[in-house]
């Protein structure tokens, strides 16, 4: 909703570009979308699809189907086919992330900022070039999650993906995308 309000011009002195120029603004926008993606991933990893569906059914039976956003939440909580210790379903988690209405243009702008900028200004703390992947590890985790919202970059934009891999994953293939939740990209 905030993004829609910004685009509509509700905040007279702000637009999306001015927020992304501001250090705090770009950090917060990146974190908003990153945490949204992390919530989706952890929802699927920690609460199985059948359990989520049972919870939704019991909630609807208790409250009734007239609650606001019931259809959107039901769609988001549908079973994805993911099961721990089994091969990932086809197109997972991209198909899961596509269930959520996200402004792809904004996510593309955020990916561009994460690609080109040192969003958290960590280069000062890691001046040696060999430590660049450590300095950009937090941005790498954000890129890992945000790219699921823009699968066309993953599939079709080889130069962009090459730049991301060379800059953020040159020597770091196991990343922590959120507080102890890791992924091996090999």
For 28-44, give the DSSP string. Answer: HHHHHHHHHHHHHHHHH
Phi, psi of 184 (to 5 degrees): -100, 115
What is the mean pLDDT of the segment spanning 17-23? Answer: 87
Q: Give residue-wise pLDDT tens across range 165-181.
A: 998 888 888 999 999 89
Asked whether 5 and 16 are in contact (CB, 8 A), the reply is no
List the beta strands (DSSP E) in the chain. Answer: 174-178, 181-184
Q: What is the Cα–Cα distance from 65 to 76, expressed in whole angstroms? A: 16
Q: Answer yes or no: pTM beyond 0.85.
A: yes
pLDDT of residue 84 exceeding 80: yes
pLDDT of residue 162 exceeding 90: yes
User: By C-alpha distance, which of 44, 34, 122 is closest to 84?
Assistant: 44
What is the mean pLDDT of the segment spanning 1-23? Answer: 82
What is the mean pLDDT of the segment spanning 86-102? Answer: 91
Q: Taking the CB of residue 12, how many other CB atoms lie within 10 A of it?
A: 6
Q: Give residue-wise pLDDT tens across range 105-148.
A: 999 999 999 998 889 988 888 888 888 888 888 999 999 999 99
- pLDDT, averaged across the chain: 89
Q: What is the Cα–Cα distance from 43 to 78, expressed in whole angstroms? A: 11
Q: How far is CA 97 from the centre of its chain?
A: 9
Q: Taking the CB of residue 163, how many other CB atoms lie within 10 A of it?
A: 13
Phi, psi of 150 (to 5 degrees): -125, 70
């Amino acid at each position: 909703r905030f993004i829609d309000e910004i685009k509509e011009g509700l905040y007279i002195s702000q637009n999306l570009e001015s927020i992304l120029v501001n250090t705090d603004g770009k950090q917060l926008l990146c974190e908003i979308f990153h945490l949204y993606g992390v919530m989706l991933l952890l929802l699927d990893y920690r609460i199985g699809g059948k359990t989520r569906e049972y919870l939704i059914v019991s909630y609807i039976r208790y409250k009734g189907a007239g609650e606001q956003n019931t259809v959107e939440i039901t769609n988001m909580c549908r079973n994805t086919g993911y099961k721990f210790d089994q091969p990932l379903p086809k197109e997972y988690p991209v198909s899961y992330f596509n269930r959520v209405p996200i402004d792809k243009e904004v996510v593309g702008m955020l990916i561009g900022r994460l690609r080109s900028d040192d969003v958290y200004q960590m280069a000062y703390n890691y001046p040696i070039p060999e430590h660049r992947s450590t300095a950009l590890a937090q941005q790498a985790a954000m890129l890992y999650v945000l790219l699921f919202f823009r699968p066309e970059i993953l599939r079709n934009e080889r130069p962009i993906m090459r730049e991301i891999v060379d800059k953020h994953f040159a020597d770091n293939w196991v990343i922590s995308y959120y507080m102890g939740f890791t992924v091996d990209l090999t």
